[in-house]
Amino acid sequence: MATHLILQKIFKTGIVSEPMPQADLGLRTREQELHADILKVFGQAVTIRHIDAGSCNGCELEIHAINGPHYNIDGMGVKFAASPRHADVLLVTGPVSRNMEVALKRAYDATPEPKWVIAMGDCGCTGGMFGESYASCGKVSNVIPVDVEVPGCPPAPTVLLQGILAAVSKDKKNA
């Protein structure tokens, strides 16, 4: 019986989730333009729309990883949405390929205000190894405004989570 085996495995495995990391406010690239009352509405819950704008698929590995049981992002109030229209945050990976430029801009426009953009990975932050070329626009902020940059190739899951929390958490300035 599969059900019996599943329950047995669940009990044997126990809870592997770990405590959440602290927000790393040093990753912010610009002053948060948000008012405290907006943050009150959101609390610290946030819905993310991931956009691969030309990544090598390395950063995607870590986005998958934070959805695993060790990180328990649901418990932090973080969830991923299928549409930019349902998102508070766009999590953008890759150097922005020119073939994805239009799609990225459209997704940005489709995301309701207030919105945050996180550029993930060395390519998203600087253009990385691919830089700017006939086929690459380079870093994400060359195409849409970016609030938080999370470097790394790819950034480890806890670093990514610190960046996500930095985008949406209150800090002293606007608390």
Partner 1 sequence: MNIGEHDWNLDPLGQHIWRGQMETGQLLALARAVKEEGGQLVALWGSDDRHLHGGFGIHVALLTGAGLAWVSCALPAETPAYPHLAHIFPQADRMQRATFDLLGITASDAVDDRKWLRHAVWAKDEFPLRKDFSTLAAHRPSPPEADAYPFIRVEGDGVHEIPVGPIHAGTIEPGHFRFSIIGERILKLEERMGYTHKGTEKRFEGMDLATGAKLAGRVSGESHSAYAWAYCMAVETATASQVPERAVWLRALFLEIERIANHLGDLGYLGNDVALSFGFMQFWRLKEDWLRLTAKLFGHRYLFDCIVPGGVAVDIADDGKAELVAATDRIEAEVRSLKAIYDEHATLQDRFANTGIVKPDLAARLGLTGLAGRASAQAWDARAQFPQAPYDQLDVNMATQRQGDVLARAEVRFAEVTESLRLIRNLLARLPTGALHAPLIPVQSVCEGLGWVEGWRGEVLVAVRIGADGKLDRVHPHDPSWQNWPLVEVGVLGNIVPDFPLINKSFNLSYSGPDL
Q: Which is nearer to partner 1, 23 or 53 (CB)?
A: 53
Read out DSSP for 109-152? HHSPSS-EEEEEHHHHHH-TTT-BSSSBB-SGGGTS--SEEE-S
Site string for partner 1, 112-141 (x = CB under 8 A): ----------------xxxxxxxxxx----
Rg (CA), the chain: 17
Q: By C-beta, is 18 or 33 nearer to partner 1? A: 18
Q: Which of 23, 24, 46, 50 binds partner 1 (CB under 8 A)?
A: 50
CA neighbor of 82 nearest in space, from 133, 56, 114, 47: 47
The SS3 assignment for 52 reads strand
Separation between Cα atoms, residue 175 and residue 158, nearest integer Å: 24
* 101 counts as binding partner 1 under rule CB under 8 A: yes
Q: Which is nearer to partner 1, 39 or 87 (CB)?
A: 87
Q: Under the rule (CB under 8 A), what is the footprint of partner 1?
A: 1-2, 5-6, 9-10, 13, 16, 50-65, 67-70, 80, 82-83, 94-95, 97-103, 107, 128-137, 153-154, 156
